[in-house]
Amino acid sequence: MHSPPLTPAATHDRLQLQARPIRSMEIRDKLSATGSHVADPAAMTPQQSPPRSTTAISLKDEGLYHSTAAGPSSRPTSSHNKAATLSPQPHRPKPSFQIGPVESIPSREGSPLGTPVNRSPTNSGSTTPWYPPSRPFTPAGEIDDPYARSKRPPQNKNPQEIEARFIFGRNKDGTLASSNGDQKPEKRHSHLSLHSLVKHKDSSTSLASVAKQSSMAELKRFFRSHKRSASPSGNLHSSRSSTFPLTAPFGDDHGLQKRYGKFGRVLGSGAGGSVRLMKRSSDGVTFAVKEFRAKHNYESEKEYAKKVTAEFCIGSTLHHGNIVETLDIVQEKGKWYEVMEYCPYDLFATVMTGKMSREEVGCCFLQILNGVTYLHAMGLAHRDLKLDNVVINEHGILKIIDFGSASVFRYPFESGIVEACGIVGSDPYLAPEVCNEIKYDPQPADIWSLAIIFCCMSLRRFPWKAPRLSDKSFKLFCARPDEPQQMQSHVSALPTSKAHQQRPGSSSKSHEIMTPAHGSHGHSDEHENNAQNLYPSSSSRDGELKGPIRLLRLLPRESRAVIGKMLELEPKKRATIEDIWQDPWVSSSHICRQDEDGTVHKSANHMHTLEGQVGGSAHSSRKSTK
């Protein structure tokens, strides 16, 4: 049986948690070369908030995204007007949903987070759909909307063929004018053009301080005034105050180090670049700074900048206790740097300490679920959820990182789902449809990955190397339990993954990490014994055990139902985010959380293991195989 074993340190140096990471950046590069969807800021219009909600998040506020301001695809409808009234929102958005005190919970009368639950039709007879309270609200599309995205012709990318009235010049007074002479008022809520930033490649360029400006025209004015008012050293100082003390919006030649301190040790690296520590001596604040990988020969400067800034644009738009704060992007000497909040612990390494209690594992799972709930409510899917992409702060609060593979699946005022395409993610965490279908809904794919994360945290090994029938562990999971030799019809119908065979840069190289200390302090004996018996190679007694139960029986009993539903092979039948929150185990679990103002609410029934240091030896050896 070829399955990724979790081996005690006493017997092996390395744990073969076989993760074959499909490097997001590489995939993105290839996908963009073929015109497939990638996180492209220019093409994004993420979710907007309800006008009535004070907890709303509007990406327009950030000035980063908008629907096309003018042109054949713009929507001169009431919906469009509605969009205009939604933004700008005056202040930085609050968290997507409020969460109550964690100690008050374990009743089905309350949400897992301690706030009242809108009961679902299934448990109350009410028709109110259940969801964590005050999530970002996605305005629905109108039925038969003639301007719906799906009904619009694709935008013409050929500049020669764009109608003159849609080509804008500038009047003497600085206002925008179309080339046919029509004077147009400056749009107040047009988006921040990333391309305009690319032009400034020779200087150190920071977006953070301009992210709140909602107009490209304002941005351009900003550039102009910057030129005029910059001191001889080229240094500008903004009076902006922030949780994270950002300073100059556009710095001088060595703005990065001036603003964020000196480079320290490497925290980790991947296909997208490498992340290093930076510590600022003036106030002792530590940052994690990602230096993006160099431009490939086959991509233009513009394409490269677009890919790099897409990750920043998504990250900087998200504000939630379980998502890392993305603070700034700086271009300096031809390199791009993304500045983030620093979290000292790594979930992968923490899991591998073997010290996590069952309650702690549950809390970690739910914290990630919390972050993913927020993300999905914003119309964004992460598409690379894995242990490696979760870091932990000093309070035991988990933060999702790496939005380099994220995609928009829902646009405001649109009811349809924008499917994702391409095999993006890491092999063991991939949902089967990601490997087998050309296009797929990225939401269920994220939910599958979340379930795999839970399995990894509980078992300290991957259930399989990849969700392919050529993988014996996965094949056994897919088999019908009562008919040992026969595969379920829908499983046997799974095609051999053509897409997978074509995957660029794929390799069968193992993803290895250091072995954890032997023993699991928090897990029951039953659980431990089961973990040892997971694979026929270690136990012929269970060699014939087929079906999901083969995996699920190894998990804590109370988690089996929901994890089983999250690992449903058919994406349409898979548990949704709402289903997960309604599960009795989930809704009665204790969860730690951090408010946006930094206040931490710790659950009373567990402690968090704070040992798996980011960039520690286990991590480094794992990363070195990438």
- Token pair for residue 111? 């949400």
Could you say whether residue 404 binds ligand ATP (CB under 6 A)? Answer: yes
Which amino acid is present at 133?
A: P
Could you say whether residue 422 binds ligand ATP (CB under 6 A)? Answer: no
Could you say whether residue 27 binds ligand ATP (CB under 6 A)? Answer: no
Could you say whether residue 45 binds ligand ATP (CB under 6 A)? Answer: no
Could you say whether residue 389 binds ligand ATP (CB under 6 A)? Answer: yes
Question: Are 47 and 87 a contacting pair, CB within 8 Å?
Answer: no
Window 555 to 574, contacts with ligand ATP (CB under 6 A): none
> Which residues contact residue 199 at a Cβ distance below 8 angstroms, ignoring those fewer than 6 apart?
none
CA distance 457 to 555: 10
Question: Are 4 and 17 a contacting pair, CB within 8 Å?
Answer: yes
- Mind giving me the DSSP string for 26-90? HHHHHHHHTT-----GGG-------TT-TT---GGGGTS--S-SSSTT---SHHHHHHHHH---S
Applying CB under 6 A, which of residues 197, 211, 308, 401 lies at the interface with ligand ATP? Answer: 401
Scanning the structure block, which residue is given the tokens 């005050």?
134
- Cβ of residue 615: shortest distance to ligand ATP, in angstroms? 6
- Measured from the CB atom, is 324 or 580 closer to ligand ATP? 324
CA distance 420 to 339: 28
* String marking each residue 202-241 x if it binds ligand ATP according to CB under 6 A: ----------------------------------------
CA distance 353 to 346: 11
Applying CB under 6 A, which of residues 3, 16, 18, 23 lies at the interface with ligand ATP? Answer: 23
| Sign of the alpha-carbon dihedral angle for 205, 207, 209, 215 | positive
Could you say whether residue 295 binds ligand ATP (CB under 6 A)? Answer: no
Could you say whether residue 402 binds ligand ATP (CB under 6 A)? Answer: yes
Number of residues binding to ligand ATP, judged by CB under 6 A: 27
Question: Are 257 and 335 a contacting pair, CB within 8 Å?
Answer: no
How big is the chain by its Cα radius of gyration, in Å? Answer: 25
Which stretch in 28-36, 161-169, 342-350, 572-580 sits in contact with ligand ATP by CB under 6 A? Answer: 342-350
Could you say whether residue 267 binds ligand ATP (CB under 6 A)? Answer: yes
**Residue 158 burial by CB count (10 A; 0-12/13-18/19+): exposed, middle or buried?**
exposed
Applying CB under 6 A, which of residues 41, 141, 251, 270 lies at the interface with ligand ATP? Answer: 270
- Mind giving me the DSSP string for 260-283? H-EEEEEEEEETTEEEEEEE-TTT
Residue 145 is a catalytic residue:
no
CA distance 106 to 100: 12
Could you say whether residue 407 binds ligand ATP (CB under 6 A)? Answer: no
Window 88 to 107, contacts with ligand ATP (CB under 6 A): none
Applying CB under 6 A, which of residues 363, 391, 421, 531 lies at the interface with ligand ATP? Answer: 391
Could you say whether residue 28 binds ligand ATP (CB under 6 A)? Answer: no
CB atoms within 10 A of CB 626: 17
- Measured from the CB atom, is 216 or 400 closer to ligand ATP? 400
Applying CB under 6 A, which of residues 27, 59, 219, 275 lies at the interface with ligand ATP? Answer: 275
- Measured from the CB atom, is 264 or 522 closer to ligand ATP? 264
- Cβ of residue 425: shortest distance to ligand ATP, in angstroms? 9
| Residue whose CB is nearest to ligand ATP in the complex, by number | 270
CB atoms within 10 A of CB 242: 14
Could you say whether residue 614 binds ligand ATP (CB under 6 A)? Answer: yes
Burial 207-219 (b: 16+ CB within 10 A, else e): bbbbbbbbbbbbb
Annotated binding residue 258: no
Could you say whether residue 610 binds ligand ATP (CB under 6 A)? Answer: no
Question: Are 55 and 95 a contacting pair, CB within 8 Å?
Answer: yes
Could you say whether residue 273 binds ligand ATP (CB under 6 A)? Answer: yes
CA distance 528 to 508: 29
- Measured from the CB atom, is 392 or 555 closer to ligand ATP? 392
Could you say whether residue 343 binds ligand ATP (CB under 6 A)? Answer: yes
Binding site residue list:
290
Binding residues for ligand ATP, per CB under 6 A?
Answer: 21, 23-24, 267-273, 275, 288, 290, 324, 340-343, 346, 388-389, 391, 401-402, 404, 614, 619
Binding site residue list for ATP:
290
Q: Which residues are catalytic?
A: 384
